[in-house]
Amino acid sequence: MQICQIHPLFVGEVSGIDITRPLSPPEVAAIEAGMNDHAVLVFHDQKLTDEQQMAFTVNFGPLEDARGGNITKPEERRLGVGMNDVSNLGKDHRPLERDSRLRLFNLGNMLWHSDSSFRAIPARWSLLSARVVNPVGGNTEYADMRAAYDALDDATKKLIEDLVCEHSLMYSRGSLGMLDYSEEERAMFKPVRQRLVRTHPATGRKSLYLSSHAGSIVGMPMADARILLRDLTEHATQPQFVYVHRWRTWDFVMWDNQRTMHRVRRYDDNHPRDMRRTTLAGHAPTVAQV
Ligand SMILES: [Fe+2]
């Protein structure tokens, strides 16, 4: 197995391995090390089934419990337990209607975010398999939040060092104008606290922990908080910190949510885009909850 860095700051392209079959312990260790070095790993031509994708993922830890992360009801799910559906498809495998609430909710993936930052214990890694690629658009962009942190001036680093943000799906979707939620959804999307600067458990390096789910900062007026978060997000997503992934069918990309943000770009919703994600559970909260 070889890993070739394809961006000046991060992102490794992996070759010489078939991840559809069981991995040996040295292969698992090499991928772990590659993730610590590069934060994003890109594989090509991996014809995974859902079962194989889940089997590959659990080499690195337990899957995240997906409950509470979407408005999809259990009976509306297209994929089995353990798989996150980030396609534009309904249970009938056809593109969702334009005014479908689920489709509109999923458009939130086009805002810069870190997966599951709205959970008290946020996701560690996400792993995405491209089963059907949309013919127009749909690139995924990744931002290196460690490099973005390193590039901040000292005054800003000092200002944000101990700040704690509140994250909720209602903040990211609220910014798109989705303001109506049922009582049950409000309880499910209750804000959680996350440090704004987090330290990577494996490398000990600091990074910005931003996400469109962040909507307030503890002890700061809302408007000040949102301006600061917007400024930091603008800083962190400058082109020099961003890798653009142009999908090919059967690409497989895994990324570390602890030190990257990502977003999907617009695509043609008349055509299917079948992307299937597995998610590795995080180890611990970034800060105590209240
Ligand atoms: Fe995501």
- DSSP assignment string, 16-27: S--TTSPPPHHH
Average pLDDT value over all residues in the chain: 97
> pLDDT-based confidence at 74, cuts 50/70/90?
confident
> pLDDT-based confidence at 11, cuts 50/70/90?
very high
pLDDT of residue 153: 98
> pLDDT-based confidence at 33, cuts 50/70/90?
very high
How many angstroms is it from 262 CA to the middle of ligand 1? Answer: 6
Say if strands 12-15 and 2-5 run parallel, antiparallel, or are unpaired. Answer: antiparallel
How many angstroms is it from 67 CA to the middle of ligand 1? Answer: 15
Report helix, strand or coil for 105.
helix
How many angstroms is it from 113 CA to the middle of ligand 1? Answer: 6
Show the tokens assigned to 55: 């089997």
How many angstroms is it from 12 CA to the middle of ligand 1? Answer: 19
Q: How far apart are CA 106 and CA 189, in angstroms?
A: 15
Using alpha carbons only, how large is the chain's radius of gyration in Å? 18
Q: How far apart are CA 274 and CA 93, in angstroms?
A: 9
How many angstroms is it from 188 CA to the middle of ligand 1? Answer: 18
pLDDT of residue 68: 81
> pLDDT-based confidence at 202, cuts 50/70/90?
very high
pLDDT in tens, 154-198: 999 999 999 999 999 999 999 999 999 999 999 999 999 999 999
Inter-CA distances, 193 with 165, 230, 235, 289, Å? 6, 18, 22, 6
Contacts of 77 (CB under 8 A, 6+ apart): 85, 91
How many angstroms is it from 154 CA to the middle of ligand 1? Answer: 30
Residue 89's φ and ψ, nearest 5 degrees, are -110, 150
